[in-house]
Amino acid sequence: MDGPRISIDFAPELRQFTAPERRRGPAPAPVDGVSTLGHVVESLGVPLTEVGRLLVNGREVPPAHVPAPGANVEVRPVARPQRVPGAPLRFLLDVHLGRLARRLRLLGVDAAYDSTDPGDPALAARSARERRVLLSRDRGLLRRRELWAGAFVHGDRVEDQLRDVLGRFAPALAPFTRCTACNGPLRPADKETVTDRLERGTERTYDAFAQCAECGRIYWQGAHHARLAEIVDEAMREFGEPAR
């Protein structure tokens, strides 16, 4: 490698985003005296949403810092739990994370999701407009400047993705308070007011109902409840009382 360069060391948590030759420790990277450290980090494959402190020769610098040739750079991961300033914690999930969205809603976490892909610019604009943390496994989407905040979701299985998001952001959990279909809040509903929308067997068997304030969907503890309760119990055991 010719020309001016820096040494850059990514924390183990960030190495999966980098080329294999950067995964064992400090490795050289070219600099041009103009590009910011944030740009250099991104150009090596690491989304800035995943980056915490940046150290140059042991001193913390902002992403706008322009590294000088010869600098020793350390890139640390974002702190967990991560605090998102200025807004109640709300999420927006990209089109590939529908199952994760339903699990977050099941736990009462505000998780906006649209199964019709509005495209990256519209998703990023909505994140900014509604101050929602964009969750995605698409690094290109996470690089968009207009995002309010974003996070890469680790894991291919929805169970792993859920643990990743709960561990990273420690959202307050309130199971069975949100519509898993549309993210709207659930309200207790009288049997009388929902009875004309129920099957005969359901009406006879159950007494406790809730209704989504937005889409009108009715919820009760039906046959699939045991499986949902299992998911909720598991999440509450590990993440139900976050340190605050």
Binding region for Zn ion (CB under 5 A): 179, 181-182, 184, 212, 214-215, 217
Q: Which is nearer to Zn ion, 115 or 157 (CB)?
A: 115
Helix (DSSP H) and strand (DSSP E) numbers for the chain: 8, 12
Closest distance to Zn ion from the beta carbon of 214 (Å): 5
Residue whose CB is less far from Zn ion, 87 or 181: 181
- Closest approach of Zn ion to the CB of residue 228, in Å: 16
Specify the DSSP element, H or E, that contains 136: strand 133-136
Nearest in space to 168 (alpha carbons), one of 75, 232, 113, 104? 104
How far apart are alpha carbons 180 and 100 in whole angstroms? Answer: 10
Please state the closest distance from residue 25 (CB atom) to Zn ion, in A.
50
Q: How far is the CB of 209 from Zn ion (least distance, A)?
A: 14
Question: From CA 154, how far away is CA 140, in angstroms rounded?
Answer: 15
The Cα 221–Cα 241 span in angstroms is 25
Which CB sits closer to Zn ion, 102 or 126? Answer: 102
As a residue count, the chain comes to 244
By beta-carbon proximity to Zn ion, the closer residue of 11 and 182 is 182
Question: 115 in helix, strand or coil?
Answer: coil
Q: Which CB, 26 or 184, lies closer to Zn ion? A: 184
**Least distance (Å) between residue 207 CB and Zn ion:** 21
